[in-house]
Each structure stands twice: as structure tokens, then as C-alpha cells.
Structure 1
Amino acid sequence: MATICALAVVLAGVAAYGWHVGWFTKSTSNGNTTTPQTSQTSALPRADVPSPKKNEPAAQAQRAVSAMTLEERVGQLVMVPLLAGSDPSSLASTITDEHIGSAILIGNWNTGADTVKTATAQLQGYAPAGNRLIIATDQEGGQVQHLTGTGFDTMPSAVEQGTMSADALRQSAGTWGSQLAAAGINVDLAPVLGTVVGDRASNAPIGALDRDFGLDAAGNAEHGIAVIEGLRDAQVGAAVKHYPGLGAVSGNTDFTTEGILDTTTTLGGAEAGAFDQAITKTDPAMVMMSLATYQSIDPNNPAVFSSTIIDGHIRNALKYTGVVISDSMSAEALSSYDVSQLGVKLVEAGGDMSCIGQTDYVKPIVDGLNERAKSDPAFASKVTAAATRVMALKIKMGLA
């Protein structure tokens, strides 16, 4: 959901937590508490990640995940949607029964911050006390600002943000982030780091909507870094999107399967390099994958399902150990795939979290992940590794 997906987290219950400069983590002397494993959990594979020091978030995450059932691990890999106007109670059983770890607010939430704060608090009430929800929204600015009304500034488009100095943009992003945090949002699925390489009006997902900074790749990277750091100043995580860029396609992956083959972008090129620079310099909370296909990189898979891009480049070349999230799994670009295999294919490629824009996609994706993990130990190990990355992010944020 190139124009919809974004991620954020409620801060309820973190009054006792301390925020570290650059990243935010829970300050506690008791980082070693674990829940005793049952015979069911002890038989599950452990995360395929290096063994970190005892009190690092990754080590804490390993201990937390080792105490989870397989179904609980799978639940951490799914982000469920709450549409504007919907009662949060509509997600109660889904969050509880499927052990869901994240939610996203989408649509036109135009009645102000108090409404959002009430909704996010209610959603958090369905989560376990020791494993709070990540709650997200899409707050880019301009035509893509899902939360409006009293308590939320009207944000300029990204193109307008591109005319600001990096320092001024960081300060503004800090203000916008503070408004999100006050409403219970902790991760914003922004900024867009795609670079439009042709006619802007012909680039439906980005240029036509002024979602990029309107600069060259280097300028887009600089301004993207400013947004990431500004959000972090407000204790809000960022998700750079849509890797490796939607600036060279004509079709919007939300709405079409046509015009979504990129024939020019390469790994190591300037356009993908803008993302790489932001990732290596800021270690953002998340990297969101594009649903387009990149002929010069992996012509057989959209980026979201490409092990060449995720495992090969983002994980191995860039050494990124954070959360890799999909663009909306319910987008038209993926309509030819079996819904039950969407989450499976993301995890197989090295990704973590399925962002879902339609509620009827949730159960098939969850069921597909569970069924594959129960029958395939190697895939279950990938689920464990992915859940560990999600939990490490939550621990850094003080959510777990």
C-alpha cells in the first residue's frame, strides 16, 4: 500500500522507561527475566542470529522469543489494519487469538489527536502487558497524511520539505513526531526515499503525488536522514520506503499490476544508494520493501519477495539487522499471489513483518505462516529470527 502503509507505537506504560540518545530503550536493571519454557516452546528453533552480550536488546529479544510458542512468534510478524471510523474492538479477538504484535491506522482520521489516542490506548489494552503493540500510520505530509485535525499540524508535501534546509527539516520532523507520540504513535512509515528519474506526472506512486523530496538522490538522502533523525528526536521510529525506490515506474502498486517493472534501478546505483546511505547512517527502525519488480536486480520477484535484495543486499551487504516490512500485502500489485503465501514469501526472502491493508487478508496470512512453520523446520528458524528482530525493536522502544 504505497500510499497507505506506515508504522507507529503506543507509549502507554513507559513512564518508567528511560530514552537513550539515538535509539530509545528500556532502562532497567532487570533485563534478564524470562518466562520458563514449556516443552512446546523448547522444541522450537532458536533465532539464527549472532549471540550478543547479555543485556543488549538482541539478547533480551532472543530470551523473549525462546519463551514464545510458534503461534506467538508468527503473530509478531503481522501488522493488522484499523480503518478510520472502525471500532478498535473489532480487532480485539484478532490481536488476542492470533497473538498479533502490530497494528496500523489507515484512512482519513480527521477528528484530531484525542480520537487517535483513545483508539491506540484501546488497542494496547488487547496486548500482553510485557509485549505491547507496535501501532503505525502513514504520516508523510501533503496528500499522504492520515492523521489530521486538532493536535496534528498540516504537514507540507515532501517536495515542499525538500526546499527546507536539513536542519530546519529535522526540527520540523521532531515537532510532527512529538504529535504522533502524544497520540500513541511510535513509528512513522516515512520518509519516502525514491528518486523520480523521469516526468513527475507520469510517475503515479511518487512524483504525481509529491511524495519525494523533489531532489537528486544525494539530496533525497540528506533530507530523508533529517526526517529520520527528527522523528528519533521525538522518540518515534522511521521506516524508509519503498526499497529500492518507486521513482522509475509509471504504475502505482496499490492499484495496478501494470507499469510496475523498473528497468533502470540497480543495486549500487544512485537511486538505491539514497536508501543505503540513510540505512547505514541512521539504522532506521524499519525498511519498507517495494512491490515493484526490478529487472536489473531480480527480474523474477518483486522486491518484497526478493532474497537477492533483502538477504543478499540489505542484510549481508548493508549489515542491517532491523525490521524489514512489506508495503501493503493487500495491494493490487500482489493480486496474482496466493494470499496465504504472502507472509511466507516475505520471510523466505529474509523479511520480517507483513503490513496488511485489508482485514480479510489477516487470517490467511497468519495461517499460511503457521502452517509452513509447523511443517518446515528451516522455515520455522526463519520465523524465529524474524520475530527476534521485531522483539529487539520493541525492546529498544520500551514496548517489551
Structure 2
Amino acid sequence: MQQIKHGGRRPRPSSAPTIIAAMLCVVALVAAGTAWWMLRPQQKDALEHLAQPQSSSSTLNRDKAPTPKSQEHQKAAGDSPAAKASRAIATMSLDERAGQLIMAPMFAGGNPADLSALISTRHVGSVVLIGNWNNGTAAAKTAADALQSYAPSGNQLIVSTDQEGGQVQHLKGSGFDTMPSAVAQGQMSADTLRSSAKTWGGQLKQAGINVDLAPVLGTVQVKRSSNAPIGALNRDFGLDSNGNAQHGIAFVEGMRDAGVGATVKHYPGLGAVTGNTDFTTEGILDTTTTLDDEEIGAFNTTIKQAKPAMVMMSLATYQRIDSSAPAAFSSKIIDGTLRGSVGYDGVVISDSLSAAAVSGIATKDLGVRLVDAGGDLACIGDTSYVTPILDGIIARAQSDPAFAKKVTASATRVMTLKYQMGLAK
């Protein structure tokens, strides 16, 4: 608002111009008063607001009332999944926060009740269905529902599985299509693959699965038959980096169309190693991949454009990026590259921490190393590993305030995903 300041010498009362000016001033004052009276029903409150002192030192902020649009924006920000997650985490104990960083295994033929204590008492927040689930969508849904019954109603589980296609399809039987291998999916057009992924995602949704640990985005750099984790099993799309990215985007978006989150894996790629990290410590040193390599490029393009629910970290070591640790334990790769350069702020999940590739590391330290590097969710393929990994995270957080902050940040990202997916409220 502009304010008019009066000053200068007082004119003589006897001058004619002064009389005319005075008359004009009276007319102006009458008009202003009339305008004020007319404005009162609509604007009085707003004008009175402007007259009140404001807490901000900014003149602009003092003189400008919040508009309905800005108030709506503030309300929307407060209602965002990230804001809700922050509020939820603020009410959680350390044990509850740490539990959100664990994905425990549920094996085909097992009893969901075996995980009840881990979920209800230890606050484990995610489960992965693994093994040969061959009894169709109904049986998987029964198991998923039982698992969810052990979790708080306002903080349900992330329930995932490896449903890639071909040799890696854990859920089969009535209600599930037999999915073609990823190489065969790579021969589809991107539009066809997105449509197919929506169908496969819908089947997962019916079975109570809300996250698919797929697709694989490795670009095979060596002879396919010698690339044990990917090429030999036809788990990749079989294309170049650009083709793999476009099909990865289609798969992620198709799953999202069905209401299921997707997970691109295994960052920054297993296409240049010969050993399978699940089963061996040999042949899992990548000596060629760099940060500007085409293989990591397929991941980065997919992540930026499709924004998957999760990114799964490889357990291989990348000599030309960070030779000191497997990718899942590398702050340079997770915090520096994936979160920093690429800008991904979603959930970072490990490949199975019960895999042979990391068998030389104390079990209690596995989750600690993941979270310390910037990761969030410890995927575990052996039930006996769950408690030691969880206890290790809690013990480190109790003794190290800086690490405790990382636990909070990771748990917030996991909870943000849950709010985004409607699993938390």
C-alpha cells in the first residue's frame, strides 16, 4: 500500500486557489468515505488485516495478505506424502523407525504366522514373497492378507515379489499369466509392453502384492552365456542402453497403471560381471563400468523419466567407480551419484543381504552399511538374518547420533512411499 505524506508550507487562507483546493479536498474526502462504506461488505476484513502488524520483517509480507491460492498451496504441502511421513516418523520410537528399514522373506509353503512377531513386535514394515508360489492369486492373497493383519491398520506392509518373467516369476498358477522372459519383452513395442505390464500388475494387485521387484535394467557387456546373473537367464531386455531404458520406462509405467510400484535393478548394472552375486563371491568385480557408461545410463534415464517406487542396489563392486565396497554399501554410488547427480529421492533397496556376495561381512553390520551409505530398505532372503540386521541398525543408532539421523531419513523415505501408495494413513 502506498501512503501519501503531507508537508510544506501552509498556504494563506485568503487565496482563491486555496479555496478551490479546499473544496476539491472536501469532495475527495466525501468520495473516499462513500467508497469505504461501499467496500465494507466485501473488503473490510481484508483491509483491516492489512492494518495489523505482521511477524515478518519484510515490508512486502507485512503489506500483502495471504491469498486463497497460497493458502491452498500450504495446505497441499502439509498434506503431501512427505509431510505426512515426517509427522508419522516424529511419533515413532527408534525401534519402530528401524523396523521400517527391513524387508523380511515369506517363503512359498510357509506359515505367515511365523512372521507375526517380527511384524507386530519388531515393527518390520515390508515382506517379500519368494520361492515357487504355484497356487494362483487366491493363495497369495490369503498369505498377504494374513501378513497385513499383523501390521498396524494405519501403517500397512509393503508386500513385494520378484515377478520379472521367464525364469524369474515367483507367483504362478490360476490368475497369473505366464510372463515371457525380459528378452522377449524387449521385442515388444514400448506401448505393448506397458499394456502387458499393466495386466501383470493387475494380477499382482489381486494377489495383495503392491511392489514388483522388477525390471532388470542391466545392459549385457560380455558374452551373454558368461553373464551368469543376467544374460544367461534372459533377465534383461536384450537391447542397447537406450532400448533398455525405453522398455524399462514402459514396464514401470505399466505397473503404476495397475497401482503397483516397480523396482529397477540392479544399480548400476550387472551386465559386465560373470558371477551371480546370489551364489558366489567370484567374478563379481566389475572392472569396466564408469559413471558415464551406457549401462548406468539406462538406469538413470528410466529413473528420471519414470520415477520408480524403488531402486535396487547391486552387490557387485565397481572398480572404476568405488573399489572400496559393493554398490549397496557405497556412499559414492548411492548418495553421490544416485541421489546427488541423478536426483532420485525415493526408496533405495538392497539386493538380498543374505547373498553369498556379502557373506564375508558380519550379519549385524549389513543393514548398518546400507543405511550409512544412503540406502533405506534391507531386503533379506534368509529369515535368520532379520533379527541380527535389525538389532545391528538399532545398536548403531543408539551409540551414534549421526547414524540415528540417517535411520530417520531412511524411515521417512519408506513411509513417504507408503503414503503415496495408500498403505499408511
Q: TM-score range by the shorter chain?
A: 0.7 to 0.9
Q: Does 1:322 align with 2:346?
A: yes
Corresponding residue for 1:399? 423
Corresponding residue for 1:119? 143
1:87 to 90, 111, 117: 111
CA distance in 2, matches of 1:300, 1:146: 33
Corresponding residue for 2:100? 76
TM-score (structure 1 length as normaliser): 0.87
Q: Does 1:264 align with 2:288?
A: yes
CA distance in 2, matches of 1:108, 1:365: 26
- The SS at the match of 1:363 is helix
Q: Does 1:200 align with 2:227?
A: no
Corresponding residue for 2:273? 249
- The SS at the match of 1:212 is coil
Cα deviations by residue, 1:262-286 (Å, 9 ceiling, x for unpaired): 0111112211010000000011100
CA distance in 2, matches of 1:169, 1:112: 23
Cα distance, 1:161 vs. partner? Answer: 0.3
Q: Does 1:284 align with 2:308?
A: yes
Cα distance, 1:53 vs. partner? Answer: 2.5
2:192 to 164, 168, 182: 168
Cα deviations by residue, 1:319-356 (Å, 9 ceiling, x for unpaired): 11100000000000000000000000000000000000
CA distance in 2, matches of 1:64, 1:161: 40
1:60 to 79, 84, 92: 84
Letter in 2 for 1:275: F
1:147 to 145, 163, 171: 171
Cα distance, 1:227 vs. partner? Answer: 0.2
Cα distance, 1:205 vs. partner? Answer: 0.2
Structure 1: runs of 5+ lacking an equivalent:
1-51
CA distance in 1, matches of 2:308, 2:97: 22
1:348 to 367, 372, 384: 372
Corresponding residue for 1:376? 400
Corresponding residue for 2:131? 107
Cα deviations by residue, 1:257-315 (Å, 9 ceiling, x for unpaired): 00000011111221101000000001110000000000000001000000000000111
Corresponding residue for 1:185? 209
Letter in 2 for 1:193: L
CA distance in 2, matches of 1:245, 1:316: 18
Structure 1 runs of 4+ aligned residues shifted over 4 Å read none
CA distance in 2, matches of 1:165, 1:227: 11
CA distance in 1, matches of 2:208, 2:292: 37
CA distance in 1, matches of 2:77, 2:250: 31
CA distance in 2, matches of 1:67, 1:288: 28
Corresponding residue for 2:33? none
Cα distance, 1:56 vs. partner? Answer: 1.2
Cα deviations by residue, 1:202-222 (Å, 9 ceiling, x for unpaired): 000000000000001110001
CA distance in 2, matches of 1:305, 1:299: 11
- The SS at the match of 1:299 is strand
CA distance in 1, matches of 2:345, 2:107: 30
Letter in 2 for 1:372: R
CA distance in 2, matches of 1:309, 1:292: 12
CA distance in 1, matches of 2:152, 2:291: 40
1:303 to 316, 327, 333: 327
Corresponding residue for 1:46? none
Corresponding residue for 2:411? 387
Cα distance, 1:368 vs. partner? Answer: 0.1
Q: Does 1:225 align with 2:239?
A: no
Cα deviations by residue, 1:147-202 (Å, 9 ceiling, x for unpaired): 00000000000000000000000000000000000110011000000000111000
- The SS at the match of 1:167 is helix
Q: Which has the larger radius of gyration?
A: 2
CA distance in 2, matches of 1:111, 1:183: 11
CA distance in 2, matches of 1:220, 1:59: 34
Letter in 2 for 1:353: L
- The SS at the match of 1:53 is helix
TM-score (structure 2 length as normaliser): 0.82
Q: What percentage of aligned pairs have identical amino acids?
A: 66
Cα deviations by residue, 1:352-395 (Å, 9 ceiling, x for unpaired): 00000000000000000000001111000000000000000000
Cα deviations by residue, 1:3-60 (Å, 9 ceiling, x for unpaired): xxxxxxxxxxxxxxxxxxxxxxxxxxxxxxxxxxxxxxxxxxxxxxxxx921111111
Structure 2: runs of 5+ lacking an equivalent:
1-75
Corresponding residue for 1:273? 297
Cα distance, 1:316 vs. partner? Answer: 1.1
- The SS at the match of 1:249 is coil
Corresponding residue for 1:16? none
Aligned-residue RMSD, C-alpha = 0.7
Q: Which structure is richer in relative contact order (CA contacts within 8 A, separation 6 or more)?
A: 1
CA distance in 2, matches of 1:205, 1:115: 29
1:331 to 344, 355, 364: 355
- The SS at the match of 1:163 is coil
Corresponding residue for 2:5? none
